[in-house]
Amino acid sequence: MSEENKVNNDSSWDFDSEKNKKSKPAQAYTKADYDIFIKLKPQEKPFRIRLASNPINFRSHWGAFKSISKGPIRSPAYSIDEKELDIAWAEGDWFPQRRHSALVFDRDDGSKLKILEAADSVFSHFGNWFKATKMNPSSDGATDWFIWVKSNGQTTEYSATPDVKPSPFTEEEKKIMDSPPFDINKVVKLKTPEQIMEMWMQLPDDKKYNPKSKFKAGKTFNKSEFEKRYGKAEEKPVGVPQISEQEAAASISQKEVNKPTEASIPKDPVPPVKDPIAEDKDENDDLPF
């Protein structure tokens, strides 16, 4: 089993932790992999699953990029102190919603290994159970879960209940966990800060800022003012550490001493801005939940 999926690392069940282990940017996956997701649609009977890994915790944009993308966009930032990695969050004041993904055995489909991705409305039940019992929900001593999904007019309600008896992994399930048929970290792909910047710059000027934000209401995009603060998108990726004016003043004399000559400065070519919609599009961006 990969390091990300070991069940003895309990910290990722605390979704408010500042140091959650997040997905790594990785390769795309094929359309055939689309069926590995459990799709939580409203139905009369509950879904029955068995958690088989710790969650990957991340955030997704649902409103920021809807004018140029059909599906949610996974943010590279998770906690508030990381939001500079996400220009749509830091500058546009679009707040990405917290999401979680974990490996599960789908009891309704022959106990096949799949991925459950959902918001706090589902995963908070697992996290609360962990806090109350001190037992990792994906450990061998844990149990199956029933997830209820109900349509309530314009909204969907979720609830989850643990089974009353433990459900230890079978020997076959342990073998599958040790060598899963897919890598969740390659399926649950986060955008990089550079990709988020490129997509945000593609938005129409009147769509860059969240109109519901009390800070940005009515604000329109001013490209020259933006570039004064952030630099050009193709030249300055988001997430570059910033220093205070005091720190800059304290170091300026040393910089002058060590200032390189113009001839010694390498002139790397500026890479063209690529179209992330055409180049980085994958089936995962169009998931129907």
Q: Is 193 within 8 Å of 85 (Cβ atoms)?
A: yes
**Residues 232-266: tens digit of each pLDDT:** 655 544 444 444 444 444 444 444 444 444 443 34
Of 261 and 211, more confident: 211
pLDDT band at 21 (very low <50, low <70, confident <90, very high): very low
Residue 281 pLDDT > 60 = no
Q: Where are the domains of the chain?
A: 3-195+276-283
- How far apart CA 233 and CA 251 sit, in angstroms, is 27
Strand partners, 274: none
Tell me which of 145 and 224 has the higher pLDDT: 145
**pLDDT of the residue at 270:** 35
- Rounded CA-CA distance 171/168 in Å is 9
Confidence of residue 23 (pLDDT cuts 50, 70, 90): very low
**pLDDT tens digits, 138-171:** 999 999 999 999 998 889 999 999 999 999 999 9
CATH code matching the domain that covers 3-195+276-283, chosen among 3.40.50, 3.30.1490, 3.30.1330, 3.90.198: 3.90.198
In this predicted structure, which of 19-28, 44-53, 66-75, 193-202 has the lowest mean pLDDT? 19-28
Contact 61, 75 (CB under 8 A): yes
